[in-house]
Homo-oligomer: A and B are copies of this chain.
């Protein structure tokens, strides 16, 4: 599973990551600046990776490489045409993004929930799967607040605007310009 990944760190590990004394980390936790919890023994501290990352971002602190790997900037590519999906995937890979492909709605829902990607590219006109429905369902679920929806469609511009109004974040006409999409993907690498 994805979110059940409950990796946690000790106060000492956090101290090393932040280049700071253990004493200080404990004071951060005590002061409520860093969320943590205590083991039953003598109250040794543990901090969930999730909470630690939030803490780092909140204070604009550098994120250790060891944690960056698990940040997996991932893009879910939803397209019924495999050749088109692979074309998008190549661009994503060039930009340094991990990517996964969904050929139908069921896979899309499964992979979206399982992998919690940062980005989802979406074809609007697929036989048997209405892209607008996907946008609606995704936006109705607060678990996917952070997912950016990128519509890539051959439909006329008014439909693209409609998609944006329904909750999509970006829209590209199809066929897409390689360098445009590449630049867009790269802006997510940071």
Contact = CB atoms under 8 A, between A and B. Distances in A.
Copies held by the complex? 2
Contacts of A107: 109, 137
Interface stretch (A37-45, A84-92, A165-173): A37-45
Contacts of A62: 6, 8, 37, 48
A17 B19 CA distance: 18
B1 A143 contact: yes
Closest A-B pairs by Cβ, 8 of them: A109-B109, A128-B128, A105-B105, A109-B110, A113-B113, A4-B65, A105-B106, A8-B19
A19 B46 contact: yes
Contact of A110 (B4, B18, B130, B137): B137
A147 B112 CA distance: 19
A83 interface: no
19 contacts: A4-B66, A8-B62, A18-B39, A20-B39, A24-B41, A28-B40, A34-B40, A37-B62, A46-B61, A104-B105, A104-B133, A105-B105, A105-B109, A106-B109, A106-B129, A107-B109, A109-B109, A113-B113, A128-B128
